[in-house]
Amino acid sequence: MIFRKALASPQAGLVLVIVLLGVILTLFAGTHVDQRTGLPVNNFLNTYTLIQTATDASFFAIMAVGATIVIVSGGIDLSVGSVYALAGVTTAMVLRSMGSGNPLIMVLVAFAVAAGIGLACGAINGALVVGLGVHPFIITLGTMWIVRGIAFVASNAESILLPNVLTHVAKASLGFGDALYPVPMLVMLLVAVLGSIYLTRTVHGRHVFAVGGNPEASRFSGVPIGRVKLRVYVLSGLTAGIAAFMGASFYGSASCADATGYELYVIASAVVGGASLAGGKGSAVSALLGALLIVLIRQSIRTLHFDQNYEWIIIGCAIIIAVVLDQASARLTARRLAAKA
């Protein structure tokens, strides 16, 4: 019974693809000898590679959760990468002006600044979408350039170092051993869980699905559409700020060029995870799985020694296939419902 429910879940297909890709990588990755134990270790199926793969996915997977909430509402947010850059640069500049201080205070200030910038940018996006009535694609395309331009001007196009205390937090081993940094992965999982709870267990989450699925019916039902749309962009900005805090802390620096092109990975993660660009369908957990799948595709290209110039082609094909399969699944479900009726 539990197995059937698991197979019927929206994430079952993604999990099976990820497992299949993991098996292929395990079989063809080869082995190396561990210098400490002298035992052969698979080049893919080992703790270091698995955590590193999750870490690579975490920074845009966190943003993908927020972007998925926007997509479920029927909108889109192209500015997440630029918000990431501005939040990181602003955080680095504030900490540089503070100089040295209490480590805990500096970490809290860094998080507050990054999250605050993300919230502010998300609120501006939402206010423009609701207030101007212009399609969110156009609004967020414009703010994408504006926000990155502000980051460029504010930082003078320089890479700004962050205090080591933040790197120590982001790269804390938590008992996993040297060179293993699970903090970004754990933050990614936490954000995905919170995003899933918000979408599936709260009234606000049900409003998001209602607005994305049928805005006219939602309006007549008394759902505050304007507030729902404003809220989802604020959440998207917040996740971009959290990702910027983790990314800048992990790498120890921030610049206006950070997260360039991340909006493509973020939207791809949501779409591959089953989110419908028409609105009304999506999952925070599926967005995380979509991000992991994209990173595994990139990992496969490197591990199997394919030409890395084909990376974008393969990811693009994966997006198209995911959308086609999603539409085919939706038609099949509609036919079954019609037959039962």
Residue 213 lies in a domain: yes
Helix pair 284-303, 183-201: axis angle to 10 deg:
140
Helix pair 225-251, 203-213: axis angle to 10 deg:
110
41 pLDDT band, cuts 50/70/90, is confident
Task: Name residue 247's amino acid.
Answer: G
Residue 302 lies in a domain: no
DSSP secondary structure code for residue 326 in this structure: H
Q: Are 77 and 262 in contact (CB under 8 A)?
A: no
Residue 223 lies in a domain: yes
Domain encompassing residue 103? 50-260
Average model confidence (pLDDT) across the chain = 89
Mean pLDDT of 310-327: 76
Mean pLDDT of 234-257: 96
Residue 57 lies in a domain: yes
| Its pTM surpasses 0.75 | yes
Strand spans (E) along 12-146? 31-33, 40-42
Is 113 a residue whose pLDDT tops 70? Answer: yes
pLDDT tens digits along 175-233: 777 778 999 999 999 999 999 999 999 999 999 999 999 999 999 889 999 999 999 99
The percentage of the chain sitting over the pLDDT mark of 90, rounded to a whole number, equals 58
pLDDT tens digits along 51-64: 888 998 999 999 99
Mean pLDDT of 67-91: 96
What pLDDT score does 70 carry? 97
The percentage of the chain sitting over the pLDDT mark of 70, rounded to a whole number, equals 95
276 pLDDT band, cuts 50/70/90, is confident
Is 327 a residue whose pLDDT tops 80? Answer: no
Please state the length of the chain: 341
Q: How many domains does the chain have?
A: 1
Mean pLDDT of 301-314: 78
What pLDDT score does 303 carry? 75
Q: Which of 18-32, 83-97, 164-178, 269-283 has the highest mean pLDDT?
A: 83-97
- More confident position, 333 or 280: 280
Mean pLDDT of 39-46: 85
Residue 43 lies in a domain: no
Residue 18 lies in a domain: no
Helix pair 47-72, 284-303: axis angle to 10 deg:
140
Q: Which residues does 200 contact at the CB level (< 8 Å), separation at least 6?
A: none
Helices (H), 133-283: 136-155, 164-170, 183-201, 203-213, 215-220, 225-251, 262-272
Residue 268 lies in a domain: no
Residues 323, 316: Cα–Cα separation, whole Å: 11
Strand 253-254 to strand 160-161: parallel, antiparallel, or no bridges (unpaired)?
Answer: antiparallel
What pLDDT score does 7 carry? 54
Residue 332 lies in a domain: no
Please give the backbone phi and psi of residue 111, each rounded to the nearest 5 degrees, phi first.
-65, -40
What pLDDT score does 307 carry? 76
